[in-house]
C-alpha cells in the first residue's frame, strides 16, 4: 500500500504543476518524491506518515527561532483576532520599519513587500529610475527571485550578456543584464571599464546561498563598493537569505560594507510572507507616491506577517543570540567533516552565522564553476541516507542549510552520528 506521502503527491500532480508550488520542493535534483509535512515544533518536523525529522531547511531560512516559537505564534494569534488585512497603514508597520532602520545603518527608509522576488524586482526598478540608466550587473549562481530581468545565465567568457534561463522571458528583457562570475574581480573591473557610465546597479548576494553557501573572497565586496561609488551606480545587497541570518547587522555588518539598497526577506517575516527593500533616503524618495518610480502591493505590510516578523526580530536582538547560533552551526559542520575525513571521503564544509554549506569536494568552492565540480551523485546518496535516518537537509546540492536557535546538542550530535554511520558504509 502506498504511503500517505505517495498518495498525496500522486493526487497533487493532477491539480498542481509538478505537484508542488515551488520547483525545488519536487526532489527532481536528488530523485525520489517530495515529503508532505504536517507539523513542526522546535528543531523537528513531522510528515503526513508520522515520521519525524531534524530540520535543517527551516522553510529555506526564515525559521531562525525554530518551528512554532511560542512568542511568534502568540503575536500572530493576537493580531489575527483584530483582522487579517486592511490595505491601509498600521502602527506595527511603522514599528518594524523603525526597527529595521535601527539595526541596519545603511537603511534610512524602507518599504515592506510580500516576497523576496518583489523586493529584488522593485530595487532594480528603483535603481534604474534613480540613475536614469538601463544596465545591471548580476553574478552567476546568485538568485534574486524570478523577475524576468534577473532570470539569466552566463555564456562563455568573463563578461557575458545574459541569455534567458526560463521560457517566457524574451531576449530583449535581459539584453541590459550583464552576468559576471562571483568573486571575479578582474571581470568586475572589465565590466565597469567598458560599461560603467551605463550601469544603473549591481545586485549581489554578499554571501551566496543559492548555489550552496559561497562566501565572498577578500576584497570582492569592497571592490564592488568602490566601483559603484566611482561610477555612480547603485550597489544592491540581496540579503533576503543572509539578512539577520548571519548576524544582527546582516552580511553588510559582518563585512563592514555599506550598500545603497538592501533587500530583505525570510527572517524578517518570521515564517510569514513578508520582505522589504530599503536604503539611502535620496534613492528611496524616488518611490511613488512622492517620486516617479511606481511600486505597490495590496498585502504589503500585512499586519499578521508584520507581527510575526516583529516578534522574531525582538527575540534575535537578545545578547549572545548570534554567538550561540554560530557555535551550534560550527559544531555541526565540524562533526560531519571529521566523520567524512575518517572514511576518506572528499568533503568540505563551512558556516557563516546560522548558515552552512556541505560540499562533496576537497576544497570549499568560491565560485559557481567550482560548486559545479562537487560530486552531485555523492550528495544525493548522502541526502537520501540522512533522510532515512530522520535528518532533513535541502533536497539539492546547490542550497545552503540552516540551523535554528533551538537546535541543541541532542539534535546536532544525532546528526553527526548519522553521518558517521552513513560514511562508514561508503
pTM of the model: 0.95
pLDDT at 167 over 90: no
Please give the Cα distance from 134 to 234 (Å, whole number). Answer: 12
What pLDDT does 214 receive?
Answer: 98
**Structure letter (DSSP) for residue 36:** P
| Counts for the chain of helices (H) and strands (E), in that order | 13, 17
Determine the average pLDDT of the residues in 406-411. Answer: 98
Kindly state the cell numbers that stand for 42: 522546535
**Which of 172-186, 247-261, 262-276, 381-395 has the lowest average pLDDT?**
172-186
Domains for the chain: give ranges and CATH numbers. Answer: 4-68+319-423 (3.90.1150.10), 70-316 (3.40.640.10)
HSE-CB of 369 using CA atoms within 13 angstroms: 10
Residue 152 has pLDDT above 80, yes or no: no
d(C-alpha 23, C-alpha 41), whole Å: 25
Distances (CA, A) of 240 to 78, 170, 276, 425: 27, 26, 9, 38
Query: 84-113, pLDDT tens digit by residue?
Result: 999 999 999 999 999 999 999 999 999 999
> What are the grid coordinates assigned to 315, written together?
527575540
**43-47 contact pairs (CB < 8 A, 24+):** 43/67, 43/404, 43/406, 43/407, 43/408, 43/411, 44/411, 45/392, 47/5
The cell numbers describing 106, all together, are: 545603511
| Rounded distance between C-alpha atoms, residue 336 and residue 330, angstroms | 10
Which amino acids are annotated catalytic? 143, 238, 266
Q: Write out the DSSP string of 272-322.
A: SS-EEEEE-HHHHTTBTTTSSB----TTTT-HHHHHHHHHHHHHHTSTTHH
Residue 178 · residue 135 · CB < 8 Å = yes
**Residues 6+ away with beta carbon under 8 Å from 269:** 62, 275, 305, 308, 309, 312
Closest to 140 measured CA to CA, from 129, 155, 125: 155
Amino acid at each position: 500500500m502506498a504511503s500517505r506521502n505517495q498518495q498525496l503527491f500522486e493526487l497533487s500532480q493532477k491539480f498542481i504543476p509538478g505537484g508542488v508550488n515551488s520547483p525545488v520542493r519536487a526532489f527532481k535534483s536528488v530523485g525520489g518524491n517530495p515529503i508532505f509535512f504536517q507539523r513542526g515544533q522546535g528543531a523537528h518536523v513531522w510528515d503526513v506518515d508520522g515520521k519525524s525529522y531534524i530540520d535543517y531547511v527551516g522553510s529555506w531560512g526564515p525559521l531562525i527561532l525554530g518551528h512554532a516559537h511560542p512568542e511568534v505564534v502568540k503575536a500572530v494569534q493576537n493580531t489575527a483576532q483584530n483582522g487579517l488585512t486592511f490595505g491601509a497603514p498600521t502602527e506595527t508597520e511603522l514599528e518594524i520599519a523603525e526597527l529595521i532602520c535601527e539595526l541596519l545603518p545603511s537603511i534610512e527608509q524602507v518599504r515592506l513587500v510580500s516576497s523576496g522576488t518583489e523586493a529584488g524586482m522593485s530595487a532594480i526598478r528603483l535603481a534604474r529610475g534613480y540613475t536614469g540608466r538601463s544596465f545591471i550587473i548580476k553574478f552567476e549562481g546568485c538568485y534574486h527571485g524570478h523577475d524576468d530581468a534577473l532570470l539569466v545565465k552566463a555564456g562563455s567568457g568573463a563578461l557575458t550578456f545574459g541569455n534567458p534561463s526560463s521560457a517566457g522571458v524574451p531576449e530583449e528583457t535581459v539584453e541590459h543584464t550583464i552576468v559576471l562570475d562571483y568573486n571575479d574581480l578582474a571581470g568586475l573591473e572589465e565590466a565597469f571599464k567598458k560599461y560603467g557610465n551605463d550601469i544603473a546597479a549591481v545586485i549581489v548576494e554578499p554571501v551566496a546561498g543559492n548555489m550552496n553557501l559561497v562566501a565572498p573572497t577578500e576584497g570582492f565586496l569592497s571592490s564592488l563598493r568602490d566601483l559603484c561609488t566611482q561610477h555612480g551606480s547603485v550597489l544592491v545587497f540581496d540579503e533576503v537569505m543572509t539578512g539577520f541570518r548571519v548576524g544582527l547587522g546582516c552580511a553588510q555588518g559582518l563585512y563592514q560594507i555599506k550598500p545603497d539598497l538592501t533587500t530583505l526577506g525570510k527572517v524578517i517575516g518570521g515564517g510569514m510572507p513578508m520582505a522589504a527593500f530599503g536604503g539611502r533616503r535620496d534613492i528611496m524618495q524616488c518611490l511613488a507616491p512622492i517620486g516617479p518610480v511606481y511600486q505597490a502591493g495590496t498585502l504589503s505590510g500585512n499586519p499578521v506577517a508584520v507581527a510575526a516578523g516583529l516578534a522574531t526580530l525582538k527575540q534575535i536582538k537578545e545578547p549572545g543570540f548570534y554567538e550561540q547560533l554560530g557555535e551550534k552551526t560550527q559544531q555541526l559542520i565540524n562533526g560531519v567533516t571529521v566523520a567524512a575525513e575518517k572514511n576518506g571521503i572528499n568533503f568540505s564544509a563551512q558556516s557563516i552565522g546560522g548558515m552552512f554549506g556541505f560540499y562533496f569536494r576537497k576544497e570549499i568552492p568560491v565560485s559557481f564553476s567550482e560548486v559545479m565540480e562537487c560530486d552531485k551523485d555523492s550528495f544525493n546518496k548522502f541526502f537520501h541516507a540522512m533522510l532515512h535516518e530522520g535528518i532533513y537537509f535541502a533536497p539539492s546540492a546547490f542550497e545552503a542549510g540552516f540551523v535554528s536557535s533551538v537546535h541543541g546538542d541532542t539534535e546536532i550530535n544525532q546528526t553527526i552520528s548519522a553521518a558517521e554511520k552513513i560514511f562508514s558504509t561508503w
